[in-house]
Amino acid sequence: MERPIKFINNKKESLFGMFYIPDQQTASAKTGILISVDSIKPRIGTCRLHTIIARYLMDIGYYVMCFDPSGIGDSEGTFEQKQIYEHYCDIQQGKYLNDSKDALDFFKAEFNLSQILLFGICGGAISMLSLAAQESGISGLILLAIPVLFDGPENNTNQDEQVSKISSEVQSKMIISDYVQKLFGLETWKKILSFKINWILELKTVMKAVKIFIIKSTQKLFRPLISKKKLNLEKVPVSVNPKYNMGFQSAFIRSIKQKNQMLFIFAEFDHYTWNFKSEFQDLVLVPGNPFEPFYEITILKKANHIFSSTETQTTLKETLSSWLSRKFPLET
Amino acid sequence: METPFFLKNSRSNRIFAILHSADSQDDSFRKKTALIYCHPLFEEHQLSHRISVNFARYLTAYGCSVFRFNYFGDGESDGLFEDASIKSRVEDIQSAITEVQRRVKPELLFLMGLRTGATLAMLAAQNCQKINGLICWAPILNMGEYIYNLLRENMSTQMTVHKKILFDREKLIEQINQGIFVDVKGYNLGNPLYNQSLEIDFTKHTLNSQVPFLFVQISNMPKVEKHLEEFRQRHNSYDLTIKTVTEQKMWVPQKMVYPSYTELFSATLSWIKEKACL
């Protein structure tokens, strides 16, 4: 059953949401999953993904709540006029934290849940991780395409924006390999000879990729393996990238300390995947690290940042179902 | 007061809706007035959502109730996107009209839409005696052309995934006609939506409705676009007003979000007030 809801936040604003209540309420313990908005779009999610996932989770027996924070979707509140990347940075720094806490309290009070998991995509993922880090009583996290770098100000052209997104070793290797392959392709030479190549963009892209590759490879050679004993991961960033969001790292560590189970899901065709890998996973989540019992990482093949295709969503549902049945099975 | 709820459409599916009830009658609305908003399709719905909410609250403050809803297959209504058609969406608008008349009992009822929502509103307004005015923000007059151009999105995705185009537009259309869905930026495009869209072309056909209607062109061009001007000429005996506003296109991703859309809102409100016989 789906029930539209309204509740009041800490600023006395009405926030809108939806409860997804499983029909088969045979489980002795109720497990709830709170879904955050992904960015500045409403609670149904990009391409309606949140609604699709919420309905699926409800069908397999979990209580689900989606909601719009203040100023978003149907909820009251003002939406401040800003550059989009500024909104993203605000979200990554905890803009939705208070409303998410209010939503969590409302959800718990309504159903007397024995376990609560938090679910988010992109900006929603970092919002939920931040919430879990400060709240006791959260059992698990499902985090899709979580950003670890702040979005920067957009440069003058969209082309510069694309170049600026190259930040990880894997990404730069893919780009360099792609260019080398293209050099041996007839189509490329046809474009070159007919002056259809944007030389400035191509050169900027290759040079940035090579630069990043050299920096990251050098860091790997000279940087010692990060160990818990040598670095206070809650306070000292592991990445030297100036755009690195330390808030992500400290929230991760605090969530680990609270023994939250985490499922990271990434998309193959998403630079956020490779940012996570190069700025955090390769530096902290190395084989044998002490956090291994608390997280799993899955990369969905052929998926994009918004997990939009039917095939991807089928795989996503299977991944969720498998992880939930292992970590948070519904007891009857 | 804003009330979210589900209603049943003519096929007994649940349709999600929110009614923004006007708290008081503004002096400028002599008659009890309500408006039904029809959202656009695909991700344009999500991108423009907050503007529709802001507009609903803007109108409500002036004394006009507003009803927003999701078509079957969209938003929080039942069903999958690919299972809905032009026909089902028009039927949902008709269900919305019935519901508003039941709940609000307005003396005047306006139907409004943005982009493909405006197109659907135009279709619903045809042969409908229950509405008193039609408002179209940036209407899509040639739905077939719009849907055809969307196939480009699928080809862009093919380039990203496969580094080449495996299926060109003609092959994609062939797939659709064989009953295979084509992914368009996260939405499954297929039949009957595709074929029904090809039949809608208000650049050639005449709107079969005599209600007053307002077209609002939203762009940075003050001059009325050619297709709207041609529509006006073909409908020169109709009560048609075309206004142009210089505002950001809220249905596409923008770098600056969200401006207040004051010009758009006030232009629309002033027309509604004018038609509400002030």
Residue B170: half-sphere exposure toward Cβ, Cα within 13 Å: 0
Q: What ranges do the domains of chain A cover?
A: 2-152+227-327, 158-222
pLDDT score, position B246 = 93
Q: Kindly report the CATH number that applies to the domain delimited by B2-141+200-275.
A: 3.40.50.1820
Residues of chain B with Cβ-Cβ distance to A82 below 8 Å are 256-257
Residues of chain B with Cβ-Cβ distance to A16 below 8 Å are 2, 4, 18
Q: Is residue B180 pLDDT above 70, yes or no?
A: yes
Residue A298 in contact with residue A266, Cβ under 8 Å? yes
| CATH 3.40.50.1820 segments of chain B | 2-141+200-275
Amino acid at the residue B25 = Q
Across the interface, of A4, A46, A308, the residue whose CB is closest to B5 is A4
User: Do B256 and A6 make contact, defined as CB atoms within 8 angstroms?
Assistant: no
Distance of CA A68 to the CA centre of its chain: 18
Q: Is residue A260 pLDDT above 80, yes or no?
A: yes
- Tokens 């709240």 — which residue? A135
The full DSSP string for A7-42 is: EE-TTS-EEEEEEE--S----SS-EEEEE---SSS-
Amino acid at the residue B205 = H
Two structure tokens written together for B124? 């619903």
- Quick: pLDDT tens for A74-130: 999 998 899 998 999 999 999 999 999 999 999 999 998 989 999 999 999 999 999
Q: In the structure, what pLDDT confidence band is assigned to residue A152 with cuts at 50, 70 and 90?
A: low
Across the interface, of A74, A87, A269, the residue whose CB is closest to B53 is A74
pLDDT score, position A207 = 83
pLDDT score, position A156 = 42
Residues of chain B with Cβ-Cβ distance to A5 below 8 Å are 4
Residue A295 in contact with residue A285, Cβ under 8 Å? yes
If we measure between CA atoms, which residue out of A296, A320, A300 comes closest to residue A311?
A: A300
Residue A17 in contact with residue B17, Cβ under 8 Å? no
In whole numbers, what is the pLDDT of chain A averaged over residues?
A: 88
Over residues B177-189, mean pLDDT: 92
If we measure between CA atoms, which residue out of A185, A31, A199, A172 comes closest to residue A108?
A: A31
- Quick: pLDDT tens for A202-254: 777 888 888 888 877 776 665 555 444 566 888 888 888 888 999 999 999 99
Residue A128 in contact with residue A204, Cβ under 8 Å? no
User: Do A42 and B46 make contact, defined as CB atoms within 8 angstroms?
Assistant: yes
Give CA–CA dist A37/A121, Å, rounded: 8
pLDDT score, position A61 = 93
Over residues A18-47, mean pLDDT: 89
Q: In 3-state terms, what secondary structure has residue B156?
A: helix
CB atoms within 10 A of CB B208: 11
pLDDT score, position B18 = 98
Q: Is the peptide bond before A22 cis (omega within 30 degrees of 0)?
A: no
CA distances from B134 to B103, B138, B235 (A): 20, 13, 14
Across the interface, of B6, B18, B186, the residue whose CB is closest to A74 is B18
pLDDT score, position A112 = 87
Cα B15–Cα B145–Cα B189 angle in degrees, nearest 5: 45
pLDDT score, position A157 = 47
Task: Tell me the nearest-neighbour CA distance from B9 into chain A, angstroms.
Answer: 16
Q: Is residue B13 pLDDT above 50, yes or no?
A: yes
- Quick: pLDDT tens for B213-268: 999 999 888 889 999 999 998 898 899 999 999 999 999 998 888 889 999 999 99
pLDDT score, position A221 = 63
Chain A contact residues (CB < 8 Å to B) = 2, 4-6, 14, 16, 18, 40-42, 44, 46-49, 51, 71-74, 79, 81-84, 87, 154, 269, 302, 304, 306, 308-310
Give CA–CA dist B8/A190, Å, rounded: 58
Which of B25-29, B148-152, B212-216 has the weakest average pLDDT? B25-29
Count how many pairs of residues, chain A against chain B, have C-beta atoms within 8 Å: 83
Query: pTM (2 decimals)?
Result: 0.89
Using CA atoms of A109, A110, A111, A115 in order, give the dihedral in degrees to the nearest 10. Answer: -40
Pairing between β-strand A63-67 and β-strand A82-83 as defined by DSSP bridges: unpaired
- Quick: pLDDT tens for A160-211: 666 666 767 777 777 787 777 777 777 777 777 777 777 777 777 888 888 8
pLDDT score, position A254 = 95
Nearest CA in chain B to A80: B258
Strand partners, A118: A34, A141
Q: Is residue A140 pLDDT above 50, yes or no?
A: yes
Q: In the structure, what pLDDT confidence band is assigned to residue B158 with cuts at 50, 70 and 90?
A: confident
Q: Is residue B140 pLDDT above 50, yes or no?
A: yes
Over residues B37-56, mean pLDDT: 96
In whole numbers, what is the pLDDT of chain B averaged over residues?
A: 92
User: Do B259 and A81 make contact, defined as CB atoms within 8 angstroms?
Assistant: yes
Task: Tell me the nearest-neighbour CA distance from B177 into chain A, angstroms.
Answer: 19
Residue A233 in contact with residue A284, Cβ under 8 Å? yes
Q: Kindly report the CATH number that applies to the domain delimited by A2-152+227-327.
A: 3.40.50.1820
Burial class (CB in 10 A: 0-12, 13-18, 19+), B158: middle
Give CA–CA dist A149/A169, Å, rounded: 14
Rounded to 10°, the helix B169-177/B143-162 angle is 110
Cα B200–Cα B141–Cα B270 angle in degrees, nearest 5: 130
- Quick: pLDDT tens for A272-304: 999 999 999 999 999 999 999 999 999 999 899
pLDDT score, position A245 = 93
User: Do A304 and B74 make contact, defined as CB atoms within 8 angstroms?
Assistant: no
